[in-house]
Amino acid sequence: MHPTTLTLTDPENQQTITLPVRKGTIGPAAVDVSGLYREFGMFTYDPGFLATASCSSSITYIDGEAGILRYRGYSIEELATKASFLEVAYLLIYGELPTEYDLSKFEHNICHHGMIDEALKNFFRGFHHNAHPMAVLIGVTGSLSAFYHDTLDIHTPEQRELSAYRVIAKLPTIAAAAYKHSKGEPFIYPRYNMRYVENFLHMMFATPCEQYRVNRLAEKAMNLLFILHADHEQNASTSTVRLTASSGANPYACVAAGIASLWGPAHGGANEEVLNMLEEIKDVKHINVYLDKAKNKNDSFRLMGFGHRVYKHYDPRAKILRGVCHRVLKELADSNNPLFELALRLEEIALQDAYFLERKLYPNVDFYSGIIYRALGIPVSMFTAMFAIARSSGWMAHWLEMMNDPEQRIGRPRQLYLGHALRQYNSIGKR
Ligand code: ACO
């Protein structure tokens, strides 16, 4: 049983501080420090938010020690095997699994918002053909607010819902268009008669020259990857979306900020880095050299796809993907995929190494996702864009949740100031 208050003693100032403790449904309780500065003139100090809950949320639950991930109370293992991505997106946004009617209406709505304004196409032409797709995604997504003025009033629930549909629907179109631009191929319009993932693969790989049929196993594998990436509570990009939104910014601007945060190699950019790393390691015989580099504190190299802020055990998403890798590679690529063999061996060796064991560094979701994306024909530079498409459902679920949160205020962290105290200004000739 948790205490309902926490008492701290500050002998220097001879004061005792009593703080309320808030309990969640499950998981650790949180000390409510919101009145600390007002009443006692002190801040809390927690760089990187290692022990700080920035908000309350009912969307996703993670137990990092036990390797548990649940969306709205449903285990990721069950959703990964039984649901479709849009079913999961509905669950994240509305809090309940959809009925057949709800789901077909939701799918219809998302599907029919897949087109982007024709004028938006001009934006792509402004990018050089070798622009990174994430740079294009940030720019074009941010510009959606210049086109869809009927969804910019964040105080109207109907407009908020419509903007969520638009973000989830248009991100695949924008990402596929970014890819087509890089190839110098014509954009392929979204198809209303296709499922979400099928439609995306069609926009990526079809050309106007011939009929293109989406491989069902590829669609299934990508559906699974999208479910696994759909949400992960207050991660860096979701927190960025929330912080951006806290000032009242429009949803498209918030999502563009989230995409920018996701791009970093410590977050969503890791799936791209994992593939680059495996290609650099090249052979099992070089693994130890790279492990030594990762352990060397004077070397900035990190084992990409390893470690997680929350999971101090095997990431449950990585466990699911590890199994799926075998089947996808067997059916879509060569079964003796050298990169997969290398990844398996790297994992095995790292997990016998005291450095990784002591620090509880296990493979995360991105250790295996890139290998599958590659087998599906997705170019490495598009990996993080795949993540962004999937995470758009989580970002919008969090944004909608915070818009209804009576405790929501502008996010404004404080600081521990370590600079100079008051100094005298000397005129330039006297310095
Ligand atoms: N390789 C080598 N050492 C590592 C790694 C790694 N991948 N990750 C953490 N460490 C070490 C750190 O050097 C540190 O060692 P020390 O205690 O001797 O100083 C210790 O483990 C703790 O690391 P922190 O950086 O404090 O852990 P944090 O929780 O801040 O970082 C992170 C988590 C960013 C994911 C980190 O593990 C990392 O950079 N991993 C590689 C990038 C990656 O795979 N990112 C994807 C994350 S999952 C996702 O976003 C979907």
Distance of alpha carbon 246 from alpha carbon 240, whole angstroms: 10
Residue type, 19: L
Nearest protein CA to atom 4 of ligand 1, as residue: 302
**Cβ(293) to ligand 1 under 6 A?**
no
In the reported structure, the alpha carbon of residue 309 is separated from the centroid of ligand 1 by a whole-number distance in angstroms of 7
The model's pLDDT over 381-410, given as tens digits with 9 standing for 90+, comes to: 999 999 999 999 999 999 999 999 999 999
Specify the pLDDT at position 323. Answer: 86
Q: What is the pLDDT of residues 238-292, one digit of tens each?
A: 999 999 999 999 999 999 999 999 999 999 989 989 999 999 999 999 999 999 9
**How confident is the model at residue 324, as a pLDDT?**
87
pLDDT in tens, 335-356: 567 888 898 899 999 999 999 9
Least confident of 3-17, 60-74, 175-189: 3-17
Distance between CA atoms of residues 89 and 193, nearest Å: 19
Active site residue 366: yes
- Which residue CA neighbors atom 30 of ligand 1 most closely? 309
- As a whole number of Å, the end-to-end CA separation of the chain is 62
Expressed in angstroms and rounded, the spacing between residue 306 Cα and the centre of ligand 1 is: 7
Q: Whose structure tokens read 């070798």?
A: 130
Catalytic-labelled residue, pool 181, 232, 366, 398: 366
pLDDT, average across residues 97-105: 98
pLDDT-based confidence at residue 115 (cuts at 50, 70, 90): very high
Q: What percent of the chain has pLDDT over 70?
A: 98
Averaged pLDDT for residues 352-368:
93
Asked about 102 being catalytic, the answer comes back as: no
Surface-to-core class of residue 235, CB atoms within 10 Å of its CB (0-12 exposed, 13-18 middle, 19+ buried)? buried
Residue that wins the pLDDT comparison between 115 and 326: 115
Please state whether beta strands 60-63 and 5-10 pair in parallel, antiparallel, or not at all (unpaired).
unpaired
Chain mean position to CA 34: 28
Contact between residue 386 and residue 179 where contact means Cβ atoms under 8 Å apart: no
Instruction: Please state, in angstroms and rounded to a whole number, the distance separating the CA atoms of residues 148 and 98.
Output: 27
Q: Which residue has the tokens 């005129």?
A: 427
- CB count within 10 Å of CB 220 equals 15
Among 359, 367, 369, 395, residue to substitute to test ligand 1 (most atoms within 8 Å of Cβ)? 359
Question: What whole-number distance in Å separates Cα of residue 300 and Cα of residue 242?
Answer: 30
Report the candidate in 312, 315, 291, 313 with the shortest Cα–Cα distance to residue 303: 291
CB of 327 within 6 A of ligand 1: the answer is: no
Closest CA to 369 of 431, 308, 320: 320
Q: What is the pLDDT of residue 334?
A: 60
pLDDT attached to residue 153 = 93
Using one digit for the tens of pLDDT, what is the confidence trace for 33-65? 998 898 888 899 999 999 999 999 999 999 999
CB 201 within 8 A of CB 211: no
| pTM of the predicted model as reported, rounded to 2 decimal places | 0.93
pLDDT of residue 61: 98
CA separation for the pair 62, 67 (Å, rounded): 8
Which amino acid is present at 425? Y
Atom of ligand 1 lying closest to residue 297 CA: 13
Distances (CA, A) of 49 to 61, 236, 239, 252: 17, 10, 11, 26
Please give the structure tokens belonging to residue 357. Answer: 């064991």
Number of residues written out for the chain = 431
Residue with tokens 């629907």: 169
305: left (phi over 0), alpha (psi -120 to 50) or beta: left
Q: What pLDDT is attached to residue 336?
A: 60
Which two three-digit tokens encode residue 39? 């009443």
DSSP string, 121-133: HHHHHTS-TT--H
pLDDT tens-place string over residues 132-172: 999 999 999 999 999 999 999 999 999 999 999 999 999 99
261: how many CB neighbours lie within 10 A of its CB? Answer: 21
Instruction: Report the pLDDT value the prediction gives residue 233, as an integer from 0 to 100.
Output: 97
Catalytic entry in 267, 308, 315, 398: 308
CA of 303 to the centre of ligand 1 (A): 8
Q: What is the mean pLDDT of the chain?
A: 94
Q: Please tell me the distance between residue 359's alpha carbon and the centre of ligand 1 in angstroms.
A: 9
Q: Is the CB of 49 under 6 A from ligand 1?
A: no
- Per-residue pLDDT, averaged over 296-304, amounts to 95
Spacing, Cα 244 to ligand 1 middle (Å): 25
Closest ligand 1 atom to 310 CA? 29
- pLDDT value of residue 1: 53
